[in-house]
Structure 1
Amino acid sequence: MRDSSTPATPYEVLGVSAAASMDELRRAYRRRLRETHPDTGGEATAFHAVQVAWEAVGTPEGRALFDAASASVTEAATEGMDGEFVASARADGASPYASAPTESETTPPWERSRPRHAEAEPTARAHGHPGGWNREEYYALMREWVGRGAIIDHPYDSAMVRAAPREIRHLLADANAEEETARTLSRLGISYTIWHDVDSDGAGPGAESKIDHIVLGPTGLFAMLSEDWGGALQVRKGEIVSDVLAVGERPVSSLSRRTRSLTRSTRAKFTALVLVVPDGSTAESLAVVGRERGVPVVVLQQSRLQEFIEVGLAGVPRLGADDIFALRERLHQVIRFI
């Protein structure tokens, strides 16, 4: 039996032996998700530990790496009983488990790369680079506008940004908006998963195929755009209109088109399409402005985002742990980043 002072292995967290088959591991993972899910009375820290354990041994490749690392830890600890091997092993970069443990050394090897905050609740898992595509495009177009081959020492100089064409300024504003949304979403609980800068494979180049954020959690599956046009917005016949938009720009229709493509590839129905806009840019801070093929379209201001995701849409049933697991696995297999 494991000593109570020794950190649990992924197998122990999942409640199986190290000799369990991958099918047994998968079944144990689903069972432990149900048992520890905060929505079913479980503890967030236990739910977090189950997910970290699955990431360590949930694939044949990851499991092989973990098993090999565990074997080397055991060997080092056994051979280090006389104290001499311990010192030389550490100098060679061997496992610190071979010496008297410090606080960091009592962290399991499979979780040691993660920051640990004793008093902080585990937060949402995020994938992708929010605002990354927009910033790359901004820099490329800024260099082209300044002059090919020119060296830009300060690409975010305020005077240069103000002088740049609208298209370039909008790219930077959107990058900032996406990063702000990402910061807000990062405060969601461990039961949520977020993907940023997702390639929807939709028609259109670059930004026209990008979904800024996809959020999955107990309140549903959401596709989001984070936008900042730098002016007041109105909603008319289910579409955002404003003189600050580019000619022919239709944000709601664009998000709907991108989401349809991803729906086909994932076979997952979205709970809502969400456009996140700056505070004060719309008359209402949160409004359902229409439906696209039965899916509600929501326009909300940045400060209402976390509340909206945590509470969800009225009348929409919450997803259970099994539903979240199945959707997450399907999305992980399909989602590609732009």
Structure 2
Amino acid sequence: MPDSPLSASPYEVLGVRADANLDELRQGYRRALRRAHPDTGGSTAQFDAVQRAWVQVGTPEARAEFDRRGRSASPEPAHETWAPAPPRPRRDSRPLARSYGHPGGLTRQRYLDGIREWVGYGDEIPDPYDPALVRRAPREIRHLLADALAEEATARSLSTLGIAFTVWHDLATDAAGPGLPPKLDHLVLGPTGLFAIQSEDWGGPVRFRRGELIGEALAGERPIRALAARAKSIGRAARVKPTALVVVVPDEFADEPLQVGGSTRGAVIALVRASRLASAVFEGIPGSAQLGGSEVMEVRTRLQQTVRFA
């Protein structure tokens, strides 16, 4: 599977420059192994990442192949996944969740605007998703692409919930955090509750502390606070209350498949791995209120009358 646009390159993992010679690579590899080993304060995940980095650039042949592929951190070019995916034919006849809106649309547009501004308006960009171009871009631009991919992956996962669920994507709100757009990524309604969901990829692990997510990659963001404000904006307009606030991240960035971090204004807050999201919504978040059939219909009607898309 191609990596995230925020993933560290093998050179970054080894702690060397991209133009390091072979001796410098070997020294960096040894130092990185010592730092990453579980017996010296590292972790199995870090140790494995160092080993993968060495496989990718540790020999002249592997390094040449890595550089030829545009400095993608995966052995296969990531372009096909980073670019908008064409519709896939369905392989079964099961009814999907009703879905509205364009998941990842606004975030992709912000990425395209950002990459165009960074390159320069007078220069041609044959392919805005070229791995070599993406890897050179500033982190804040790569973060936009990573988030767009996360939103699209969440939408694919939520579509499998079945006809009892309704999903809205890219909802416009009156609330936004610093540097963040006024939109809620996803809103899901079904018998297990009303879920306000943000799809995120910060390129690093996050965890709960005192009802908020923390982690080095957050750079001061307060995701739960921002999500709560967005959900409140949607709920106030429709006169409904979300039963759960959920942040979904790539599997490797959450210690557990599902973590409950408390509640706010009657809504349970949770951090969920991407692979666990659909089952978490289908089964319900622990401690989150469920909805009766007539209540689901009433809430759906109110939302359909008030939802605006970003």
Same-fold call, TM cutoff 0.5: yes
CA distance in 2, matches of 1:166, 1:307: 32
Aligned equivalent of 1:202 = 175
Aligned partner of residue 228 in structure 1, secondary structure = coil
Q: Is the 8 A contact 2:213 2:223 kept in 1?
A: yes
Give the C-alpha shift of residue 148 in structure 1. Answer: 1.6
Query: Rg: which structure is higher?
Result: 1
Give the C-alpha shift of residue 319 in structure 1. Answer: 2.2
CA distance in 2, matches of 1:134, 1:291: 28
Aligned equivalent of 2:97 = 124
| Percent of aligned pairs with the same amino acid | 53
Give the letter for the 1:271 counterpart: T
Give the letter for the 1:334 counterpart: T
Displaced runs of 4+ in structure 1, greater than 4 A?
203-206
Aligned partner of residue 310 in structure 1, secondary structure = helix
Aligned equivalent of 1:252 = 224
**TM alignment of 1:65-214, pairs within 5 A:** 120-203=93-176, 207-214=180-187
Indicate yes or no: 2:260 matched with 1:292. Answer: no
Give the letter for the 2:296 counterpart: I
| TM-score, reference length from structure 2 | 0.68
Q: Is the alpha carbon distance of 1:206 and 1:337 closer, same or farther for their aligned partners in structure 2, counting shifts above 3 Å?
A: farther
Indicate yes or no: 2:248 matched with 1:276. Answer: yes
Query: What CA deviation, in whole Å up to 9, does each residue of 1:49-88 have, x standing for no partner?
Result: xxxxxxxxxxxxxxxxxxxxxxxxxxxxxxxxxxxxxxxx
Aligned equivalent of 1:216 = 189
Q: Is the 8 A contact 1:143 1:149 kept in 2?
A: no
Aligned equivalent of 1:313 = 285
How many residues of Structure 1 are paired with residues of Structure 2 in the alignment? 222
Give the C-alpha shift of residue 318 in structure 1. Answer: 3.6
Q: Is the 8 A contact 1:208 1:258 kept in 2?
A: no
Q: Is the 8 A contact 1:289 1:298 kept in 2?
A: yes
Q: Is the alpha carbon distance of 1:333 and 1:251 closer, same or farther for their aligned partners in structure 2, counting shifts above 3 Å?
A: same
Residue in structure 2 matching 1:241, options 214, 220, 226: 214
**Which structure 2 segments of 5+ residues have no match?**
1-88
Give the letter for the 1:285 counterpart: P
Give the C-alpha shift of residue 203 in structure 1. Answer: 4.6
Q: Is the 8 A contact 2:244 2:267 kept in 1?
A: yes
Q: Is the alpha carbon distance of 1:282 and 1:161 closer, same or farther for their aligned partners in structure 2, counting shifts above 3 Å?
A: same
Give the C-alpha shift of residue 207 in structure 1. Answer: 3.7
**Which structure 1 segments of 5+ residues have no match?**
1-114
Give the letter for the 1:121 counterpart: R
Give the letter for the 1:327 counterpart: V
| TM-score, reference length from structure 1 | 0.62
Residue in structure 2 matching 1:333, options 298, 305, 308: 305
Aligned equivalent of 1:7 = none
Across the aligned residues of Structure 1 and Structure 2, the Cα RMSD in angstroms comes to: 1.9
Aligned partner of residue 180 in structure 1, secondary structure = helix
